[in-house]
Amino acid sequence: MKSTSKKWTIAPILLGLICLFCSSYTVDKEADRIQKAARVFEDFKKMKESIPASILQDAEGMVIIPKMINAGFGIGGKRGRGVAMVKLASGTWSDPVFVTITGGSIGFQAGVQAVDLVLLFKHKEALTDAKNGDFTIGGDLSAAAGPVGRSTSANTDYKLDAEVYSYSRSKGLFAGISINGSNIAFDKTSNSNYYGADADTQKLFSSASDNSSAVKTLRSALSSK
């Protein structure tokens, strides 16, 4: 009888440890996504033809998708996970909100490509006011490939063209990437894993309270020249 009693006493402890481990693992996984987003943006800044500082300064929202999978064999598709942030009135970038991007296309294409993607939004309401927690690029919002060049000035006509500007870095079979028709949705599972079950995207987009090392690294990448 004593042996059985000990087994039933130990079981809840083991279960608790397992739950604690799983919780820690999921938080680390989301933190890793934030770190990868920071590395992507740092890498973009090192490129010879980088995102113009004037466009970054005017952008009110941003989505960074590390290693988005872009694949096609006649019918193409894309899938990726990343983070979204908006610029607060103080000029500080908000807490990151986890997002997913999915899309498809029809036409001649073949191959599988991992693409680092950065989307700049002229108006943060495109993210903060997203109905049902998702929106379609090219449907709900006009999109275009963003201009490049460190010397591109703020008086260019880019402001008149689109609501979203895309920048991608890729290697392999694809020469470029179109994001029109892609759906961006808030990743409720990841947001709950990282922030807790009561995570609210509206509150996250209006706050800059996350001072974890991963978020500090990302904010530093976005704010540095």
Q: What is the pLDDT of residues 37-72, one digit of tens each?
A: 999 999 888 877 778 888 888 899 999 999 888 766
pLDDT of 12 over the 90 cut: no
pLDDT value of position 167:
87
| CA gap 97, 86 in Å, rounded | 9
pTM for the full model? 0.80
130 band by pLDDT with thresholds 50, 70 and 90: confident
pLDDT of 18 over the 50 cut: no
| CA gap 224, 135 in Å, rounded | 29
Q: What is the mean pLDDT of the chain?
A: 78
The single-letter DSSP state of residue 131 is: G
Token representation of residue 218: 């990302």
What ranges do the domains of the chain cover? 7-223
Average pLDDT over residues 63-90: 84
| CA gap 197, 13 in Å, rounded | 23
Average pLDDT over residues 133-159: 68
Average pLDDT over residues 20-24: 43
Place of tokens 């000035």: 153
Q: What residues have CB less than 8 Å from 43, skipping those under 6 apart?
A: 116, 169
175 band by pLDDT with thresholds 50, 70 and 90: very low
Coil/strand/helix, residue 143: strand
